[in-house]
Amino acid sequence: MMEPSGPPRHGHIRAGRRFVLGSIAALLAGIGWLYWFPPGQSGFYPLCLFHSLTGLSCPGCGATRALHFLLHGEWAVAFRCNALLVIALPWLAFLAGRRAYRAWNGQPWVPPERLGRWIFLALVGLFLFAGLRNLPLELSKGLLPP
């Protein structure tokens, strides 16, 4: 059964605001942890299962280190760890901000008819990046995390 259109109900706004505040708290805690505990020197961070099993780098390999170096202002090292993440981070921040704004106002996240298209494009990009960084070429070696 579909809900009637119109302004969002008050309960949805409160739930959305709790979601936004909880997300901000979790994000700040994660940023603090990542800032103070370097991924290569702390036993807390998990190893990449895909890399452990195949010896290949997945699209996420080096992302945690990249975020750590970004937090310390080392952009070139972060780009070397995971170029895709560094390039995509402004877009991801925009999407997160839009999601937070909509949740704060009790609005749905995104129209479902557009969500499938974005997921498809993101998956294509991830597979292309993973494929390119694992090719036996000199250029590809620059995309592998140190």
How far, in Å, are 11, 44, 62, 70, 121 from residue 112 at the CA level?
22, 36, 31, 33, 15
Q: Which residue type, as a one-letter code, is found at position 58?
A: C
pTM of the model: 0.80
Spatial distance between the Cα atoms of 12 and 9, rounded to a whole number of angstroms: 5
Q: Taking the domains of the chain in order of start, what are their residue ranges?
A: 12-141
Confidence of residue 145 (pLDDT cuts 50, 70, 90): confident
Tens digits of residue pLDDT in 100-143: 898 888 887 666 667 788 889 999 999 999 999 999 988 788 88
Spell out the residues 6+ positions from residue 59 whose beta carbon is closer than 8 angstroms to its own. Answer: 84, 126, 127, 129, 130, 133
Whether the pLDDT of residue 5 is over 70: the answer is no
**R_g over Cα of the chain:** 19
Q: How far apart are CA 146 and CA 69, in angstroms?
A: 13
Model confidence pLDDT, tens digit, residues 50-64? 999 999 999 999 999
- CA–chain centroid gap for 71, Å, is 15
